[in-house]
Chains A and B, each alone.
Chain A
């Protein structure tokens, strides 16, 4: 079959996509885009959509409702974009639109023509009336390549992706020889976004070169970091881009079968992907003899069962084979001998999703973004103590400072920045002296953190670094597959030491012990889980050593976080006579009335939840937190006030 025929078949799909677009535009009725990915739904997008539908039908207003994927602005969910072509305004983006606000928007804007400025985040186009979102740092400093269309198209409608140029990269690849495709990817300098940053083109070339014909490609969407959700969002918001990348990869390496491995905890992503596969097959963009060529390619979805270690490629393969997900010795690498013994390329969701635009726009274009050794963009889920948490895609080489303070708005509540944790359980904590570090594979590794999963947690002065290390070790210790003794027992030992430090039972030699043990675990573990598990401990020991020392030597938690080392008390001078606010809120009835009808805390009963401190009216602000706990004044509870402890009640 000729290239001409291939082009013609694809052109007819493009024409159909255009026709559908025109048909929609003919009717100039308003369009309401509602973000319906996991984050939107969690914030109440279903109720918002229902409220729009009801309000529209009550008022008999004609409008289209289009569910779209995520724009990455988690702080603004439920997020809605209204395009009201006859109102004289550009499309407007609204934030935190709950059901009530949805009704107001229908009444005021769609019916009355008033765009309700107080709910507006910004206009989607430059104009003279409403500030455009593109002028906000959150938008202008981002560079969207992988997430370019996320939130702008309906992920369930393949024609919307085609209208954005989708699947043209695949067509271009099919017109070329597989080796030429690999050349393009290699020239682009694309490195794997799954954490380690292995050059994608090189991986593909090795797979291509193997003699065996029956090969596999696997999309790694396991995303096990407990604080990361980029891959989920991409799968939910633009699954076709991933499928296109997957097909290009398969064509290049000579594979006909593929498995998209997505965790079962991501039901929406699984559904979106399954639907996308079906619609691509219907248009012959996947399946047997794609667009009439001799290239056959089938994709199936495998649901991962929730084990962090299964993100590791050999463990992932074990689990597809129906076994316990234990990592295997490499070599042989999966590209030589992988799933069912066949050569297998494993690539991350973001890696594969970067491929279509590289093929379409060329490797030179890709290299204009990012740095020399880390071209392209990086995607992070930035959470924790920042004003505007969410998904952010920035050019590699952007500094941490720009990302945290400009793109994400900095630290809320006038608190101080303390540290940023990058790379999840495998990564590390960096202090403020590293804020000017450029974000790329090599600089982060050099600093002791790691690109890793792309999870980023920003922490203010109230976070305790020992506690954060303990948190990650608790996670890796549970998730160790148990194959290597050092990983299994070593992480457990690390956790025990960190546990006792946070409880004020740390010993003088503990810090040394943490360091030697960490080294042993790194050396004695087979896979990346064990090799990187000590990173959170090592980096925080390096940059926040005095905090560990305070816990051990002074039995004090400087951040007032570790609960054994703190106490709450009520300042009798400040407590308002007769006020009862905190009494009812204490879950263990620890608060009693003392002289002068003021309140005091029974330290025996207090579980240090901090609820009393958060409910005490700001004009009194009478509840204080101190460390070590001995600093709290002791006020005896009168015997008739004594209550039975609920602490141990079952």
Chain B
């Protein structure tokens, strides 16, 4: 079965560092949950809450803990929209396609993000800077169409506002790089 069943005996360098952290965390987390099938979804939720996604090793560990097969865990996790199986980007862009936002042209906004980043909804850019996903009503239909960018709600979206957001990201990144260069230079 699992290659690194519970991560035991694996040197951190063998695994992606993030995944290694996730595994260490789960080892601490699992004993807090009774070995009860009803705990499956709550366990997956608490892993994702902390790490933003579920690595397959993580799901294997959960399966072992609950004495069910990994494919059963995988089957449940993939059924629900909440669970993600790849790490999201540094900047998470959620475009609302709830009913009100659809009527107000939310699909055009999504398309603009997709075109700008060259990825489709549900994907992450290769540099892992951005991910785009569609979501159902985020609860501010009066501001439709709406996008949620890094937890900030952007109301009355327009294609030009999409451009504006990226200009901001660009400025921010350049500033960070400049500061980093300055720090390195002074060291």
* Given A305-B82, A610-B108, residue A43 in contact with residue B155 (CB < 8 A): yes
Counting CB contacts under 8 A, is A324 at the interface?
yes
Q: Are A324 and B76 in contact (CB under 8 A)?
A: yes
Interface size on B, residues (CB 8 A): 45
Q: Are A383 and B159 within 8 A (Cβ)?
A: no
Known: A389-B141, A614-B158. A649 touches B118 (CB 8 A): yes
Contact of A118 with B by CB under 8 A: no
Q: Within 8 Å of chain B (Cβ to Cβ): is A194?
A: no
Closest Cβ of chain B: how far from A214's Cβ, in Å? 15
B144 to chain A, nearest CB (A): 7
Question: Does A303 interact with chain B (Cβ within 8 Å)?
Answer: yes
Q: B160 at the A/B interface (Cβ < 8 Å)?
A: yes
> Does A321 belong to the interface (CB within 8 Å)?
yes
Q: Which of the segments B11-19, B24-32, B96-104, B168-176 contacts the partner chain?
A: B96-104
Check if B142 is an interface residue, CB within 8 A of chain A.
yes
Decide yes or no whether B111 CB sits under 8 A from chain A: yes
Contact B99–A455 (Cβ < 8 Å): yes
Task: For chain A, residues 442 to 490, give those with C-beta under 8 angstroms from any C-beta of chain B.
Answer: 455, 457, 459, 463, 468, 471, 481
From A226, A320, A647, give the contact of B38 (CB < 8 A). Answer: A320
Say whether B100 contacts A232, CB under 8 Å. Answer: no
Q: How distant is the Cα of A38 from the Cα of B118 in the complex, in angstroms?
A: 31
Set B45, B115, B118, B155: member contacting A305, Cβ < 8 A = B45
A322 touches B143 (CB 8 A): no
A457 touching B103 in the complex, CB below 8 Å, given contacts A321-B38, A322-B38, A325-B79? yes
Contact with B along A374-390 (1 / 0, CB 8 A): 00000001011100011
Q: State whether the Cβ of A99 lies closer than 8 Å to any Cβ in chain B.
A: no
Main DSSP-derived SS at the B contact region:
helix
Question: Do B141 and A615 touch across chains, with their CB atoms under 8 A apart?
Answer: no
Whether A389 lies near B142 (C-beta < 8 A) is yes
A384 touches B80 (CB 8 A): no
Partner among A264, A324, A390 whose Cβ is within 8 Å of the Cβ of B75: A324
A-B contacts, CB under 8 A, total:
138
Q: Which listed segment binds A: B2-10, B131-139, B178-186?
A: B131-139
Is the Cβ of B39 less than 8 Å from the Cβ of A322?
yes
Q: Are B82 and A585 in contact (CB under 8 A)?
A: no
Q: Which of B124-153 contact A (CB under 8 A)?
A: 135-144, 146, 153
A52-107 contacts to B (CB < 8 Å):
74-75, 77
- Looking at the complex, which one of B108, B135, B139, B163 makes contact with A38 (CB distance below 8 Å)? B139
User: Is B118 touching A457 in the complex (CB atoms < 8 A)?
Assistant: no
Would you call A229 an interface residue if the criterion is a C-beta within 8 Å of the partner chain's C-beta atoms? Answer: yes
A463 to chain B, nearest CB (A): 6
Q: Give bound CA distance, A552 to B143, whole Å.
A: 34
A74 touches B103 (CB 8 A): no
Chain A minimum-CB-distance residue to B99: A227
Looking at the complex, which one of A39, A305, A322, A463 makes contact with B140 (CB distance below 8 Å)? A39
What is the bound-complex CA distance between A649 and B103, given in angstroms?
A: 27
CB neighbours of B38 from chain A (8 A): 320-322
Listed residue (B37, B82, B138) with the most chain A CB atoms within 10 angstroms of its CB: B82
Q: Are A227 and B81 in contact (CB under 8 A)?
A: no
Q: State how many angstroms separate the Cβ of B151 from the closest Cβ of chain A.
A: 10
Q: Would you give the 0/1 interface string for B54-95, flagging 1 where the beta carbon is closer than 8 Å to chain A?
A: 000000000000000000000110011111000000000000
Residues of B within 8 A of A306 (CB): 80-82
The complex places the Cα of A306 from the Cα of B42 at a distance, in Å, of 13
Cα–Cα, bound, A228→B100 (Å): 10
A646 and B115 form a contact (CB under 8 A): yes
- A42 and B79 contacting across the interface, CB-CB below 8 Å: no
Shortest Cβ distance from residue B37 to the other chain A in the assembled complex, whole angstroms: 4
User: Does B41 touch A at the CB level, under 8 Å?
Assistant: yes
B112 at the A/B interface (Cβ < 8 Å)?
yes
Q: Are A615 and B99 in contact (CB under 8 A)?
A: no
Q: Which residues of A contact B158 (CB under 8 A)?
A: 611, 614
Q: Could you tell me the distance between the alpha carbons of A229 and B79 in the complex, rounded to whole angstroms?
A: 23
In the assembled complex, which residues on chain A have CB atoms less than 8 Å from the CB atom of B83? Answer: 305
Minimum distance in angstroms from A1 CB to a CB of chain B: 33
B23, CB-defined interface residue at 8 Å: no
- Chain A residues 223 to 240 lying within 8 A of chain B, measured CB to CB, are 224-229, 232
Contact status of A587 and B159, CB under 8 A, knowing A227-B100, A303-B45, A306-B80: yes
CB of B104 to closest CB in A, whole Å: 8
Contacting pair A471 B140 (CB below 8 A): no
Whether the pair B82, A226 counts as a contact (CB closer than 8 A) is no
* Chain A hits for B162, CB < 8 A: 587
A424 at the interface (CB under 8 A from B): yes
With A320-B38, A587-B162 in contact, do A471 and B102 touch (Cβ < 8 Å)?
Answer: yes
A323 near B: Cβ within 8 Å? yes
A455–B153 CA distance with the chains assembled, in angstroms: 21
Once A305-B45, A459-B103 are accepted as A-B contacts, the answer to whether A325 and B80 lie under 8 Å apart by CB is: yes
Cross-chain contact A226 with B99 (CB below 8 angstroms): yes
Cross-chain contact A305 with B81 (CB below 8 angstroms): yes
A536 to B82, CA, bound (A): 26
Residue of A nearest to B46 (CB): A303
Q: Which residue of A lies closest to B49 (CB)?
A: A264
Enumerate chain B residues within 8 angstroms of A43, measured Cβ to Cβ: 140, 142-143, 153, 155
Task: Answer yes or no: A634 CB below 8 A from chain B CBs.
Answer: no
Closest to B117 in A: A650
Q: A319's closest neighbor in chain B, by CB?
A: B41
Does A307 make an interface contact (CB < 8 A)?
yes
Give bound CA distance, A229 to B99, whole Å: 12
Q: Verify B37–A609 contact, CB threshold 8 A.
A: no
Q: Which residues of B contact A307 (CB under 8 A)?
A: 79-81
Scan A603-644; emit 1 where CB is below 8 A from any B CB, else 0: 000010111001100000000000000000000000000000
How far, in Å, is A582 (CB) from chain B's closest CB? 10
CB–CB B80/A228 < 8 A? no
Question: A421: CB under 8 A from chain B?
Answer: yes
Q: For the complex, is B40 an interface residue (Cβ under 8 Å from A)? A: yes
A389: which B residues are within 8 A, CB to CB?
100, 141-142
Q: Which residues of B contact A455 (CB under 8 A)?
A: 99
Neighbour of A42 across the interface among B39, B97, B135, B143, CB < 8 A: B143
**What 5 pairs between A and B have smallest CB-CB spacing?**
A227-B99, A305-B80, A322-B40, A226-B136, A383-B100
Binding site for A on B (CB under 8 A): 37-42, 45, 75-76, 79-83, 97-100, 102-103, 105, 108, 111-112, 115-116, 118, 135-144, 146, 153, 155, 158-160, 162-163
Further 8 A-B residue pairs, CB within 8 A, beyond A322-B39, A384-B103: A303-B45, A306-B82, A322-B38, A322-B76, A585-B159, A587-B160, A611-B160, A614-B158
Q: List 23 A-B contacts (CB under 8 A).
A: A38-B138, A42-B138, A43-B155, A77-B140, A227-B137, A229-B139, A265-B135, A302-B42, A305-B81, A305-B83, A306-B81, A319-B80, A321-B38, A324-B75, A325-B79, A383-B99, A383-B144, A459-B103, A587-B160, A588-B115, A607-B111, A611-B158, A615-B160
Q: Name A residues whose Cβ lies closer than 8 Å to a Cβ of B.
A: 38-39, 41-43, 74-75, 77, 224-229, 232, 264-265, 302-303, 305-307, 319-325, 381, 383-385, 389-390, 421, 424, 455, 457, 459, 463, 468, 471, 481, 585, 587-588, 607, 609-611, 614-615, 646-647, 649-650
